[in-house]
Amino acid sequence: MDFSSAKQFDLHRRMVRIRLFEEAAGRLAEANKLPGFLHLYVGEEAVASGVCGALNDDDHITSTHRGHGHLVAKGGDFNRMMAELMGKSTGYCKGKGGSMHISDTSLGMLGANGIVGAGSPIAVGAAFANKYRGRGQVAVAFFGDGSTNIGAFHEAANMACALHLPIVFACENNEYGEFTPRDKTMAITDVVDRAAGYGMPGVIVDGMDVIAVHEAAVEAVERARQGGGPSMIEAKTYRFYNHHGVQNLGLKYRSDEEVAVWKLRDPIFTFEDRMIENGVATRANFDDIWAELRADIDNAIQFAEDSPYPTPDQITVNVYTSMTGAN
């Protein structure tokens, strides 16, 4: 497939937005300005961007604990995201959810998730509703390699196929679940080998190549939209930072060389080189884009820092749709 230069810039922009947001979040966390856990998406930008670039605004996605990238790629607002990470009342979840539960249902982003594997069944539900209403919307379940070892994932994949739902299973295989390498927890190398067992097609793509991811996503999303049922994409990728936070905490579980080799394949820089080589863009174009988006991030940090914390009376608000319940 050939993609227009506008599409290429669109995919690039999504990736840079994720990178800048995550780098900023990482810096704030290291300065102890962000409470709680922070699972950064740096290194994996091509996956969320390539997939979400194939979706319409009213399509749905479910996410993981590593969810900022998915929300940014779906069009998430920096200000409300940064405020949420700081636990402020102006955040996406009014400070109640934080990094691990960041969500924007108006963008079809049905939440980051603190429970590994829990997003996939929810994507199946969204796909069911989409088929039920018949408006041609598609759902995408983003999930990690490690999450395919949990029952919820298997049940979701099987049900999606049994009910022939409009869904794409998008695997981010970064070769680790927390601090344990994939080969300690699975006897197969490629997650996509599982797809056949559920009765859906699957492809492996280079998850550091946004065009490769996008191509596979366009095909899978079209299949789902046309009534062709579920399919799986396995993107081979890598997270550049630690499982949570930035620095390696505790014991070393992967070698510096391994990290360095993957960093050479940085999905953004390699794509920029390619766009320049192909005469689609100039270095100056990219400088402008980074500068513009950096300003957005700086504004978001300012916005978040200036925002108030929620007040304690908010603790019991939003437990139910209306204010009833026990106490």
Partner 1 sequence: MSDERKLTYAQAFNEAVSQMMEADPDVFCAGEDIGAFGGVFGTFAGLQAKFGEKRVVDTPISEQAIVGLGVGASVTGLRPIVDLMFMDFICVAFDQIVNQAAKLKYMFGGDATLPMTITTAGGGGLSAAAQHSQSLEALLCHIPGLKVVMPSNPYDMKGLMISCIKENNPTVMIKHKRLLGMSAPVPTEAYGIPLGKGNIIRPGKDVTIVAYARMANEAISAAKELAEEGIDCEIIDPRTLQPLDTDLIIDSAKKTNRVVVAQEAVRFGGLGAEIASQIQELAFDYLDAPVSRIGAPFSPVPFSPALESQYIPDAKSIAKGVRDVMARR
Residues lying near partner 1 in the complex (CB under 8 A) are found at 35-37, 87-88, 93, 95-98, 100-101, 113-117, 146-147, 149-152, 177-180, 184-186, 250-251, 253, 309-312, 314-316, 319, 325-327
> How is residue 228 annotated by DSSP?
-
* Least distance (Å) between residue 271 CB and Mg ion: 22
Told to check if 120 binds ligand TPP by CB under 6 A, we report no
Q: Which does 66 bind (CB under 5 to 8 A by kind): Mg ion, ligand TPP, partner 1, none?
A: ligand TPP
Least CB distance from residue 148 to Mg ion, whole Å?
Answer: 10
Q: Which is nearer to ligand TPP, 85 or 300 (CB)?
A: 85
- Number of other residues whose CB lies within 10 A of the CB of residue 28: 18
Q: Measured on CA atoms in the order 183, 185, 188, 194, is the torsion positive or negative?
A: negative
CB of 177 to Mg ion, least distance (A): 5
Sequence-ordered list of residues with C-beta below 8 angstroms from that of 86, at least 6 positions apart, any chain: 28, 33, 34, 35, 304, 305, 307
- Candidates 112-120, 159-167, 193-201, 272-280: pick the segment binding ligand TPP (CB under 6 A): 112-120
- Closer residue to partner 1 (CB): 258 or 273: 258
> Taking CB under 5 A as the rule, does residue 145 contact Mg ion?
yes
Q: Report how many residues bind Mg ion under the rule CB under 5 A.
A: 4
Smaller CB separation from ligand TPP, 81 or 118: 118
Tell whether residue 146 is a contact of ligand TPP (CB under 6 A): yes
Asked if 74 interacts with ligand TPP (CB under 6 A), we say no
Q: Which is nearer to Mg ion, 174 or 242 (CB)?
A: 174
How many whole angstroms separate alpha carbon 30 and alpha carbon 34? 8
Report the nearest approach of ligand TPP to the CB of residue 99 (Å). 12
Paired sense of beta strands 180-181 and 176-177, if any? antiparallel
Give the one residue of 144, 166, 207, 230 binding ligand TPP; rule: CB under 6 A: 144
Stretch that binds ligand TPP, among 61-69, 78-86, 199-207, 230-238 (CB under 6 A): 61-69
CA atoms within 13 A on the CB side of 171: 29
Starting at the earlier edge strand, list the strands of the sheet with 167-173. Answer: 60-62, 139-144, 167-173, 231-236, 202-206
DSSP of 67-136, one letter per residue?
Answer: -HHHHHHTT--HHHHHHHHTT-TTSTTTTSS-GGG--BGGGTB----SSTTTHHHHHHHHHHHHHHHTS-
Binding of residue 147 to ligand TPP (CB under 6 A): yes
64 forms part of the interface with Mg ion (CB under 5 A): no
Binders in 156-175 for Mg ion, by CB under 5 A: 174
Pairwise CA distance, residues 187 & 189, whole Å: 7
Q: Binding of ligand TPP at residue 174 (CB under 6 A)?
A: yes
What contacts 24+ positions apart, CB below 8 Å, involve 153-157? 153/117, 153/120, 155/121, 156/120, 156/121, 156/123, 156/124, 157/120, 157/194, 157/195, 157/198, 157/200, 157/230, 157/232
Cβ closest to partner 1, residue 101 vs residue 225: 101
Q: In the window 173-192, what residues touch Mg ion (CB under 5 A)? A: 174
Interface ranges with ligand TPP (CB under 6 A): 64-66, 114-116, 144-147, 172, 174, 176-178, 243
Interface ranges with Mg ion (CB under 5 A): 144-146, 174
